[in-house]
Amino acid sequence: MRGWEIAALVAAGAFAVLMLALVVPVLRLRHTIDAATQTLKDVQVRTGPLLDEVHGTVDNVNTALGQVQVTLDGVNVQLARVDTMTQHAQAATANVANLVGVVSAAASSPLVKAAAFSYGFRRANAARRQADDEKAVRATLKAQRKAARGR
């Protein structure tokens, strides 16, 4: 045997020992990869139905949001109607206020005159009654004095 053949045998032996030393970690790594693969399969089995439920829930939420949008559209239509009614009521109120102002202006002047006339009439009537009463008292006193002198 020559020297290079011995060197090749030694190198081959060293390579075989190295491979045997690496076989144990590779086998352990294979077990770890198998466990990780099994865990991923379990996660996939469990998340599939969960994702289906989430999808169903999202569909239900989208349906509810569509119904809410329809309801809001109806509310907006009703608010527009109420706004129109409010504008009409405001215009009617302004017209009534103007009418009240016109009637008040037209009626206040004659009413003030009528009130002043009735006040003056009552006062003159009261003064006339008082004068008649005083005249009657004077006449009675005068008659009593004449009667007292004639006795």
Q: 64-113, pLDDT tens digit by residue? A: 999 999 999 999 999 999 999 999 999 999 989 888 887 777 666 777 77
pLDDT grade for 2, boundaries at 50, 70 and 90:
confident
Return phi, psi of residue 2, to 5°: -90, 175
- The DSSP letter of residue 2 is -
* Tens of pLDDT, residues 25-50: 888 889 899 999 999 999 888 888 88
Give the pLDDT mean for 16-28.
86
* Cα angle, residue 55 at apex, residues 50 and 58 outer, rounded to 5°: 125
**C-alpha count within 13 angstroms, C-beta hemisphere, residue 5:** 2
Beta-sheet strands, E only, within the chain: none
Give alpha helix (H) positions in the chain: 3-150
Q: What gap in Å lies between CA 151 and CA 145, rounded to an integer?
A: 10
pLDDT of residue 5: 87
